[in-house]
Amino acid sequence: MNPSTSRSTSSFTSDSNRLSRASGSSYKTTNVTRLKQDQQARNKEPDDIDYENESSDEELGRQSYDLFGNESYASVLIRREAVAVLDNPELLMMHAQSRNDSIPSTRLHFLKLLSGRIPTETQKIEASEHRLAQLKQRAKKRDLAEAGMVETDAGSSSRGGGAAI
> Does the pLDDT at position 56 exceed 60?
no
79 and 109 belong to one structural domain: yes
pTM here is 0.42
Q: Read off the pLDDT of each residue in 110-121 and give the average, rounded to a whole number.
A: 86
Residue 23 has pLDDT above 70, yes or no: no
How far is residue 88's CA from residue 30's CA, in Å, rounded to a whole number? 49
Rounded Cα–Cα distance for residues 144 and 159 (Å): 13
Q: How confident is the model at residue 96 (pLDDT cuts 50, 70, 90)?
A: very high
Number of domains comprising the chain: 2
Higher pLDDT, 70 or 99: 99
Q: Which has the higher per-residue pLDDT, 149 or 55? A: 149
Q: Is the dihedral of CA 150, 151, 156, 157 positive or negative?
A: positive
Most trustworthy range by pLDDT among 20-34, 110-124, 142-156: 110-124
DSSP state of 151: P
Could you tell me the pLDDT band of residue 43, with boundaries at 50, 70 and 90?
confident
Alpha helices in 116-151 (DSSP H): 121-147
105 and 84 in a common domain: yes
The amino acid present at 126, given as its one-letter code, is E
Asked if residue 152 is part of any domain, the answer here is: no
**Distance, CA of 120 to CA of 123 (rounded, Å):** 5
Ranges 41-45, 52-56, 93-97, 121-125: which has the least confidence? 52-56
Looking at the structure, do residues 56 and 85 belong to the same domain, yes or no?
A: no
| pLDDT for residue 93 | 96
The answer to whether residues 79 and 134 belong to one domain is yes
Determine the structural domain holding residue 108 and report its residue range. Answer: 73-147
* 115 and 54 within one domain: no
Amino acid symbol at 13: T
Pick the closest to residue 142 from 150, 131, 154 (CA basis).
150
What residues are paired with 163 via a beta bridge? 157
